[in-house]
A and B are shown apart, each in its own frame.
Chain A
């Protein structure tokens, strides 16, 4: 029983981090019709900047607050300086561009931080384990679950209840019509791209105490996030959430029962979804 609860919590932790990344990926696709290949690198950047911020200020909470806007600002800047000019081209060019940006960012991080992984200590409040009816579970992991739940709820409320959220949903539904009705589509694209990168950056900072900041975490997370959005469907926050839970569960139980072939389960689920619903569980058929 304790074991089952532990596995369940581990699955939730993984799902939470995946959600922070895949929600942004999905949101950007909804608005820009681009899958941002560089999204995983923004997650990685968040982790490394988190390491620097903690090393400089010694204060994890401060890093958690200042790193995401910094990552988001960089994302918005890159969108406005490159992607913006090629929206009219065939889709492959936008994908190629985000791939090029990913390479440049990844190599820049390697130059600045070198090849060794950087560990980040969780804040004092969240160190150690907490006892849950006979099960000792790391406090920090519980915090990750709550953080991703809170962020998920905040994103959903923002999109559903605010005026800005309304404009974003309008652009996602029909950007030309939204443009005619006075929405500043170019600005919405830049801001959404930046916000999505900030979400990925937040995921990175939050993940750093658990996974450390290391080269290759970007590609690792983007492949998982791709599987999440293929399962859940692009452009749907609910789909990202469902997909994250499925992939989190598949990886956790896979690693526990079939350590050598853990990811086979994840890909088997993805294959099954593709056969029966090629546009994902919550996605819309194009």
Chain B
């Protein structure tokens, strides 16, 4: 067995043991890490594998969170229905936004994703009757696994669901980037002009991966709402999109597993720093800038360069 498989198996066992060895607040922190990691990983599909920088990825996380919150609170459906609703809404909104944004490349794409995300944020903020405005939707319950099935209200049960979603998503994303479609994305990242000159139109590829990334971000958001018990405009704000970018960069752009580790580092850094100062963001910002300048591969990329195969 290769070292990466051993590591992966060890991580799976550790994740599965979580509910039996961790205290409640540790389990809750780990759930948080996994949800953020899923969000960061979905962003890596477009940032790392296609070379498109989105400043507005939080919008899809937020759409997932709102859809999930409404399904759970208003219709009291099982959690997986809420997850599906979150993925569906995020994906559905990503189609027109992606269609418009991927008509442009590079910096235009980055600016457009931010502009559309701020637009969606403002909609969430102003559509009080549906979203509760700045208060958001509170009291989102963790319902059951299926109709009449086991309850997910305990933090252990919900953790296991979140962990299963994240592991499954990681495997699906890995299959995507290794498929011919994923190879095409990486070809676009390396040299879009050559890709075009080989007779392929890059735009459909970019649109499809944009929507896929939005669907996974929507799943992360849909897990977030019942986990925290609320959905609010904050989770659609540009700051959260930026935090996603920071997690991806810290962990390693274009590595899928890196963003999940990056999310862990980011949130642990936040946990530690915020007990000393409320202005933890400035330190995280400095770490981020230093990594961009000196360690462009992030943690995983740098480890691989130093010879640790994984």
Q: Which residues of A contact B (CB under 8 A)?
A: 29, 33-35, 37, 82, 85-86, 89-93, 95-97, 99-101, 103-104, 107-108, 110-111, 219, 222-223, 226-227, 229-230, 234, 260, 263, 267, 270-271, 274-275, 278-279, 286
Size bracket of the B interface: 35 or more
B115 near A86: Cβ-Cβ < 8 Å: no
Residue of B nearest to A103 (CB): B285
Report the minimum CB–CB distance from B174 to chain A (whole Å): 21
A103 pairs with B288, CB closer than 8 A: yes
- B234 → chain A, closest Cβ, in Å? 13
Which A residue's beta carbon lies closest to that of B288?
A: A100
Of B104, B116, B249, B292, chain A has the most CB atoms within 10 Å of the CB of B292
| CB-based contact B293/A234 at 8 Å | no
Say whether, besides A85-B293, A99-B245, A35 and B107 are in contact (CB < 8 Å).
yes
Which secondary structure characterizes the binding site on chain B? helix
- B217 contacts chain A at the CB level, 8 A cutoff: no
Question: Mask for B42-67, Cβ within 8 A of A = 1, else 0?
Answer: 00000100010101000000000000
Question: Considering the complex, which residues of chain B in the window 92-116 have a beta carbon less than 8 Å from any beta carbon of chain A?
Answer: 100, 103-108, 110-112, 114-116
- Establish whether residues B242 and A95, one from each chain, have CB atoms under 8 Å apart when the complex forms: no
| B230 contacts A by Cβ under 8 Å | no
CB pair B112 A234 closer than 8 Å: no
Whether A263 pairs with B119 at a CB distance below 8 angstroms is yes
Decide yes or no: A234 and B108 within 8 Å by CB, A37-B55, A107-B282 being known contacts: yes
In the bound assembly, the distance between CA atoms of A118 and B122 in angstroms comes to 24
B285 adjacent to A107 (CB under 8 Å): yes
Taken together as a complex, chains A and B put the C-alpha atoms of A136 and B111 apart, in Å, by 38
With A104-B282, A219-B238, A278-B104: A96-B111 Cβ-Cβ less than 8 Å: no
Instruction: Give which listed residue, A82, A90, A108, A279, contacts B51 with CB less than 8 A.
Output: A90
CA distance A111 to B111 in the complex (A): 28
Given contacts A226-B115, A229-B111, 17 further A-B pairs with CB under 8 A are: A35-B110, A35-B111, A92-B53, A95-B53, A96-B53, A100-B285, A100-B288, A101-B289, A103-B284, A104-B282, A223-B115, A226-B114, A230-B115, A270-B115, A271-B100, A278-B103, A278-B108
Contact between chains at B108 and A96 (CB < 8 Å):
no
Which of chain B's residues have a CB closer than 8 A to the CB of A223? Answer: 114-115, 118
Question: Is B115 a contact partner of A227 (Cβ separation < 8 A)?
Answer: yes
- Contacts A99-B245, A263-B119; A226 near B105 (Cβ below 8 A): no
Contact call B111/A274, Cβ cutoff below 8 A: no
- B279: chain A residues at CB < 8 Å are 107, 110-111
The contact sample of 13 A-B pairs, CB cut-off 8 A, is A35-B107, A91-B106, A97-B293, A99-B55, A100-B285, A101-B289, A104-B285, A107-B282, A110-B279, A226-B112, A263-B119, A263-B122, A279-B108
The answer to whether B136 has its CB under 8 Å from any CB of chain A is no
Shortest distance between the CB of B283 and any CB in chain A (Å): 9
B-chain residues with CB within 8 Å of residue A278 when the two chains form the complex:
103-104, 108
User: Is B198 part of the contact surface with A, judged by Cβ < 8 Å?
Assistant: no
Known: A35-B111, A95-B107, A274-B100. A100 touches B116 (CB 8 A): no
B56 CB, nearest partner CB in chain A, Å: 10
Contact B292 A96 (CB under 8 A): yes
Taking CB atoms, residues of chain B closer than 8 Å to A270 are 112, 115
Given A90-B51, A97-B293, A263-B119, is A103 in contact with B281 using a C-beta cutoff of 8 Å? yes
| 6 tightest Cβ-Cβ pairs between the two chains A and B | A226-B111, A100-B289, A103-B285, A104-B285, A107-B282, A35-B107
- Decide if A275 touches B100 in the complex (CB within 8 Å): yes
* Chain B stretch 11-31: residues in CB contact (< 8 A) with chain A: none
Report Cα–Cα, A86/B293, bound state, in Å: 7
Q: Does B272 contact A (CB under 8 A)?
A: no
Is B310 in contact with chain A by the CB < 8 A criterion? no
Indicate if B306 sits at the interface (CB-CB under 8 A): no
Q: Which residues of A contact B122 (CB under 8 A)?
A: 263
Residues of B with C-beta under 8 A to A260: 126
